[in-house]
Amino acid sequence: MSPQHAFARKIFYLIGLVLLVAVLSWLGQPTASEGSVEGKEESASGFRLPNLAQLRLRYKLSEAQLGEIDPAGTTIKLATLGLRGVAANILWEKANNYKMKKDWTNLSATLQQITRLEPHFISVWRFQAWNLSYNVSVEFDDYRERYRWVIRGIDFLRDGIRRNEREPMLVWDVGWYITHKIGTADESKQFRRLFKEDDETFQRWEDYRPAADRDNWLVGKDWFWRSEKLVDQGADLRKTTPVLFFSHRPMSQMNYSEAIEKDGIFGEKAKEAWKKAGDEWFEFGARAIPTTEKDRYIHLNDAEQFDKEAADRIAKLEAFEPGLREKIRKERYEKLPAAKRKAYETPPEKRTRDDWEKAQEVAEQLIVTHDQLARQISGPNRPIAIKLAREAAEFEKKAEENRLYRQIVNFEFWRERARYEQTPEAIFAREYAFKGAEALANADLIKAREMYEQCFAKWRQLFDRKDFAQLKNDDSLGQEIVGIIYKYRQVLEKSDQPFPKDFVLNDILELHEKNWRAREGK
């Protein structure tokens, strides 16, 4: 290479470096102040493209917009000279080692260091909070110490929220820990009491409330509501299923209603709690919930309306030629081979495997779709019939899809439960069951028997109501009542009394005793 070529290349490289530095310098300029409009800085010739600082401001990605700035954390990140990812991995390993050694003091200190290095790495906050509240807490024998570590996990999440104010899943996690860990753990009775009495924690938290308002289910419900607000404002749900995410706030009210009855609170307070649960469940059903398809939403309350719309169109379709659908089925059946008809006509309990396969094929062949029915209608009504058939099929598809989403949260079960639990019969039945259990624990057999019999009488009244005709088939409620009946049996056995042959809930016992015994291993 000649000296001239070498010199020209050096000049070319130098010019390239100068241009690159200039571009980087411009991109790294501070945010424009007064003259910027949505990240575009105004110049004499109009608007020019925004730099990186302006883009961070526009999309709310600057450090100050994500949450509180930790000066110590910023200093540590600078001290790592661009190797904070490596440093975070090293600290993560140290944290796991401290956990295995049960060195809780150093574990807490290491977690703090990790979050200062990576304050916007959401998985760190979520994983380590779970570690503290669920894994570390169970290492202690004293339930009070376990409770303290549960609160430490919640405090850890709250620190994460201060650094990531627009992250809904951290807010949701606080609600989940307060409701689930405190409300459903083996020591939930003690945890719920400690939570109500925990003045120190509530004074430290920004949302202080008096002891009377510290039921864990209601406090957790407030946090679920906060997370919903963030999502409604455009925050990302990440990989969380929307229908599950939005169900937890009304479910907290359901669990609260159940919990206060377990605590012995009944009457108007219990009725109002269940009524509120039903109202909030209805509001949840009215919410527009995103589906797996982009820009498509469903309302869980709509299934019955879809059924009604489909039934209306089917009725109009079949009114053009009454009996046509059955006529088509009969014609198809008569054309089937004798072997298939024989298998189809064989009683289910007597069918062989081959019979079952043939019978299934026949059942599928006898299905007359709305479109097939409509195309058999002649004359000027045929186009109208085809349109009705298409609309009926569309409404049926919508209803089916809606119910698939309902199944995820057991929507219909909880809707019905909130409805019957607020009735006077159910509230009195649960109160008598509670008093019966108390009397049995105190060996007061006479009172226990009286309370249980009044309990069963109230359930009988509820089951006999026309608006709850299907309630006796509810296996969850049925098994719960069977459990109470077995306590009543204990009372009778200790009193040397036979179980009555005309027992008022014999039908419930026959329907659900088998499943209850299987569940209890009896």
Listed residue (248, 209, 241, 208) closest to 226, CA to CA:
248
pLDDT tens-place values along the chain, 522 residues long: 577 777 777 787 788 877 777 766 655 565 554 444 444 444 444 445 465 555 545 545 444 444 444 555 455 554 554 566 677 778 878 888 887 887 877 877 887 788 778 787 888 889 889 988 998 899 899 999 999 999 999 999 999 999 898 899 999 999 999 999 999 999 999 999 999 999 999 988 877 888 888 999 999 999 999 999 999 999 988 889 999 999 999 999 999 999 999 999 999 999 999 999 999 999 999 999 999 888 899 999 999 999 999 999 999 999 999 999 999 999 999 999 999 999 999 999 999 999 999 999 999 999 999 999 999 998 999 999 999 999 999 999 999 999 999 999 999 999 999 999 999 999 999 999 999 999 999 999 999 999 999 999 999 999 999 999 999 999 999 999 999 999 999 999 999 999 999 999 999 999 999 999 999 987
Beta bridge mates, 298: 289
At 167, phi and psi to the nearest 5?
A: -100, 100
Listed residue (377, 368, 383) closest to 325, CA to CA:
368
Instruction: State residue 10's pLDDT score.
Output: 75
Do 430 and 375 have their domain in common? Answer: no
Q: Is the residue at 442 inside a domain?
A: yes
Do 99 and 202 have their domain in common? Answer: yes
Beta bridge mates, 36: 41
Q: What angle do CA 391, 401, 325 make, to 5 degrees?
A: 45
Q: At what angle do helices 411-421 and 267-286 cross, to 10 degrees?
A: 150
> 330 is in which domain, residue-wise?
301-397
Number of structural domains the chain divides into = 3
Q: Is the residue at 360 inside a domain?
A: yes
Instruction: State residue 24's pLDDT score.
Output: 62
Do 76 and 208 have their domain in common? Answer: yes
Q: Is the residue at 248 inside a domain?
A: no
Do 323 and 198 have their domain in common? Answer: no
Give every CB contact of residue 261 below 8 A, 6+ residues apart in sequence. Answer: 270, 430, 431, 434
91-127: b (≥16 Cβ within 10 Å) or e = bbebbeebbeeeebeebbebbebbbbbbbebbebbbe
Do 231 and 321 have their domain in common? Answer: no
Q: Is the residue at 3 inside a domain?
A: no
Do 362 and 492 have their domain in common? Answer: no
Q: DSSP letters along 388-435, please?
A: HHHHHHHHHHHHHHHHHHHHHHTHHHHHHHHHHHTSHHHHHHHHHHHH
pTM for this predicted structure: 0.81
Q: How far is CA 112 from CA 5, 201, 463, in A?
A: 57, 19, 57
Residue pair 433/452 in contact (Cβ under 8 Å)? The answer is yes
Instruction: State residue 478's pLDDT score.
Output: 97
Q: Is the residue at 50 inside a domain?
A: no
Q: Is the residue at 293 inside a domain?
A: no
Q: Is the residue at 457 inside a domain?
A: yes
222, 240, 258: which is the final residue of a domain? 240
Q: At what angle do helices 424-441 and 411-421 cross, to 10 degrees?
A: 80
For position 162, which CATH number holds?
1.25.40
Q: How far is CA 40 from CA 32, 204, 422, in A?
A: 9, 42, 58
355, 382, 397: which is the final residue of a domain? 397
Instruction: State residue 166's pLDDT score.
Output: 87
Do 342 and 433 have their domain in common? Answer: no
Do 94 and 217 have their domain in common? Answer: yes
Instruction: State residue 27's pLDDT score.
Output: 55
Do 374 and 461 have their domain in common? Answer: no
Q: Is the residue at 123 inside a domain?
A: yes
Do 99 and 193 have their domain in common? Answer: yes
Do 141 and 207 have their domain in common? Answer: yes
Do 323 and 392 have their domain in common? Answer: yes
